[in-house]
Chains A and B, each alone.
Chain A
């Protein structure tokens, strides 16, 4: 279509739900808000350097995934020196409620399996992109996904 990146606001509008669902599944609702804002603020900073034909969804989910990992590892957040665009804050507060039972089980998974499951089912990423986001081989991503789903089945049917 166009040879340039879409306006950031349009990118935010298009990806906010997927990113939100992914983060709620990854870190739970109370942490998701902060992770969401950090994700899109990082994305805004990096946005001008993107190639116009980039897979924006996979890219922003890679960022969201890193923020989720930071949250899980309890890393202190860096104070952000720039003012948050109001659009990012509003995008976070406008997100719908999400019930948590299955996602509690997801939260219990080991890190790589949790990543694979959330990237697959919240973000609809193919194995290759899951692997890229996690930073592992495609085979490893498939395995983690398979093992994670097996654990979830056990947890949910227990």
Chain B
């Protein structure tokens, strides 16, 4: 199965979007090494990875609409091939958290039926290959602490503020 990839512009800089015929399979932040991302895709999916002039239209359009506040739910097709069975349960629960809402790691763990608890769920969230679209940013620590985020906590906060789940902080330490 062929994989195509292209850069997608965003408020975070240039994201790398990789797609198969099934849909978006990987979304990487700008600081992630492109060769490392591609090599991992080659190993786990297929070596037939080719650069495309641009990402598929739905990916481009929906991300653009989301970042500008004009879209709350993604309709684009996703390819879940990079996600293992446990990750799929955790990220399925995550993808059902509505725009503007949040859950705690332990709530996600419980809903996903994780016998190993919230740490395992946290790891599965940290391994999310399609951040933003699969909204792992909507999962916080109990008590409201942000917790972690693969793309960095600044971005997690930015996304939650965009969605209205967090009100912007007024302190100047941002």
Question: Which residue numbers of A lie inside 8 Å of B, CB to CB?
Answer: 2, 4-10, 12, 44, 47-48, 50, 85-88, 90
A10 CB contacts on chain B under 8 angstroms:
35, 38
Which of A8, A88, A90 is close to B49, meaning CB atoms less than 8 Å apart? A8
Closest chain A residue to B35 by CB distance?
A10
What's the nearest-Cβ distance from chain B to residue A129, in Å?
22
Contact-residue bracket for chain B: 10 to 19
* Contact between A6 and B47, CB atoms less than 8 A apart: yes
* Contact between A7 and B52, CB atoms less than 8 A apart: no
Interface residue SS majority, chain B: mixed
* Contact between B42 and A7, CB atoms less than 8 A apart: yes
**B39 at the A interface (CB under 8 A):** yes
A44 CB contacts on chain B under 8 angstroms:
2, 48, 50
Bound-state Cα–Cα, A48 to B2, Å: 10
Bound-state Cα–Cα, A2 to B42, Å: 11
Mark B24-53 against chain A: 1 for CB-CB distance below 8 A, else 0.
000000000001001101110011111111
* Contact between A9 and B50, CB atoms less than 8 A apart: yes
Bound-state Cα–Cα, A10 to B39, Å: 9
What's the nearest-Cβ distance from chain B to residue A3, in Å?
8
Bound-state Cα–Cα, A23 to B29, Å: 39
Bound-state Cα–Cα, A26 to B11, Å: 48
Which chain B residues numbered 52 to 100 have a C-beta less than 8 Å away from chain A? 52-53
* Contact between B48 and A47, CB atoms less than 8 A apart: yes
Bound-state Cα–Cα, A87 to B38, Å: 15
Which chain B residues numbered 93 to 121 have a C-beta less than 8 Å away from chain A? none
**B20 at the A interface (CB under 8 A):** no
B41 CB contacts on chain A under 8 angstroms:
7
Bound-state Cα–Cα, A48 to B41, Å: 13
**B19 at the A interface (CB under 8 A):** no
* Contact between A4 and B50, CB atoms less than 8 A apart: no
* Contact between A86 and B53, CB atoms less than 8 A apart: yes
Which of A2, A8, A88, A90 is close to B48, meaning CB atoms less than 8 Å apart? A8
**B128 at the A interface (CB under 8 A):** no
Which of A6, A85, A86, A90 is close to B42, meaning CB atoms less than 8 Å apart? A6
Apart from A2-B39, A6-B42, A7-B42, what are 8 other A-B pairs with CB-CB below 8 Å? Answer: A2-B43, A7-B41, A7-B49, A8-B48, A10-B38, A44-B2, A44-B50, A86-B51
Which of B5, B46, B50 is close to A48, meaning CB atoms less than 8 Å apart? B46
